Amino acid sequence: MSQKSQPGRSALMAELTVESRRYMAAFALFNQAVADHLRLHPTDLQCLNLLGLEAAPVTTGRIAELTGLTTGSATRLVDRLERGGYVTRERDTVDRRRVLVTTVPERMVEIGAVWERLNGAWAAMFEAYDDDEVALLIAHMRRTVELSALQVESLREAAGGA
């Protein structure tokens, strides 16, 4: 009998469904609380998070790709971040037609300070796992990011066809 068909699997999968819903809600509410603390919109906070992971300034089109937003929504997001002093727009020196969005280091430090205060508890939680478990968590997170992007695309396509 395979592990997937063992008795108790359906109960375990049902529990996973319930805990997944709690996990996603907890993340969304946590993100909202951090955004509220910083007086940012939750999407703007996550955009800044993603921009902080980029190696260089990016176009608004790249921001749309990173966030799953339409280009129009990404432009409005960049407008808000620019008004808030979190990013600047500059012409690309190589291709003057392109406009690059750059984070403002001082503002990123402010956000980083909040994350630094919160990271201790997260680090302590992850320290409870052995290396194999951490590797599993990393694999799960990567697969979740990939699947989420596909689901966002699917939802946007369905909305466009409605």
Assess contact for 39 and 82: CB atoms under 8 A.
no
> Measured between alpha carbons, how far is 29 from 117 in angstroms, rounded to an integer?
18
- Kindly tell me if the per-residue pLDDT of 124 is higher than 60: yes
| 140 has a pLDDT exceeding 90 | yes
DSSP calls for 94-161: S-TT-EEEEE-HHHHHHHHHHHHHHHHHHHHHHHTS-HHHHHHHHHHHHHHHHHHHHHHHHHHHHHHH
What is residue 161's predicted lDDT score, i.e. its pLDDT? Answer: 56
- What pTM, to 2 d.p., does this model score? 0.83
In this predicted structure, what is the pLDDT of residue 126?
Answer: 95
What amino acid is encoded at 115 in this protein?
W
pLDDT above 60 (res 94): yes
Per-residue model confidence (pLDDT) at position 142: 96
Mean per-residue pLDDT for 130-150?
95
